[in-house]
Amino acid sequence: MTARKRYWLMKSEPDTFSIDNLRKVGTEPWNGVRNYQARNFMRDGMQVGDGILFYHSNCTVPGIVGIARVASAAYPDPTQFDRKSDYYDPKSRPEEPRWMLVDVAFERKLARTIALEEIKQHADALGEGFALTQRGNRLSVMPVTAAQWKYLLSLE
C-alpha cells in the first residue's frame, strides 16, 4: 500500500549548496538540519517519491529555483557523529541518533526563479497556512499542500 504523494519545500543557501550543485551530483544526503521541527518533517512525514520545491535562501534573489524529490527513507545524519564536521553534535549517541535526514534527488531547474517577493504577492491564494510567507518563519523544511504546489508551479 502506497501512501499519497506529499510535497515539501526545502531551503538551501546557494553559497553552501545550490540547485546547480544538486544537478551535478544527482542525489545528496540532506545533512546539517539541526531543528527539531524540520527533522520531524523528514523523519515522520517524508516518503520516497515526494516532491520538493528547492528554495535558495540568504542570497540576492531568494526564491524557488528547482524541483527535487525525496530519494530515501529517513536515516541518521552521519555528520552529527563527525567531530570534524560543523554539524557535529556531542550530545547525540549512535545508539540513539538525534538528527535524521533523507536523500534528495535532482529533478529539474525551473525555467525561472519564482522569487520570494513574487510569492508574497500571491499570499492570499496560497492561504494563511503557508509557512514561507508567514512573518519570521525560519523553518528550513516545511510541508506544501498539493494545491500550493500546483499554484506555485503555475507561476513558472
Return residues touching DNA (CB under 7 A): 11, 13, 34-37, 57-59, 62, 91, 116-117, 120, 134-140
Contact 100, 77 (CB under 8 A): yes
Rounded to whole angstroms, how far apart are CA atoms 12 and 17? 6
Q: How far is the CB of 156 from DNA (least distance, A)?
A: 19
Closer to DNA at the Cβ: 26 or 36? 36
Q: How far is the CB of 11 from DNA (least distance, A)?
A: 5
Q: Where are the beta strands (DSSP E) in the chain?
A: 7-12, 27-29, 51-56, 63-70, 75-76, 100-101, 103-115, 141-144
The C-alpha cell that represents 24 in the structure block: 551535478
Q: How far is the CB of 43 from DNA (least distance, A)?
A: 14
Contact 102, 42 (CB under 8 A): yes
Closer to DNA at the Cβ: 27 or 37? 37
Strand-strand pairing, 7-12 and 51-56: parallel
Rounded to whole angstroms, how far apart are CA atoms 37 and 138? 11
- 3-class SS at 137? coil
Closer to DNA at the Cβ: 116 or 153? 116
Closer to DNA at the Cβ: 26 or 93? 93
Closer to DNA at the Cβ: 84 or 91? 91
Q: How far is the CB of 26 from DNA (least distance, A)?
A: 23
Q: How far is the CB of 70 from DNA (least distance, A)?
A: 19
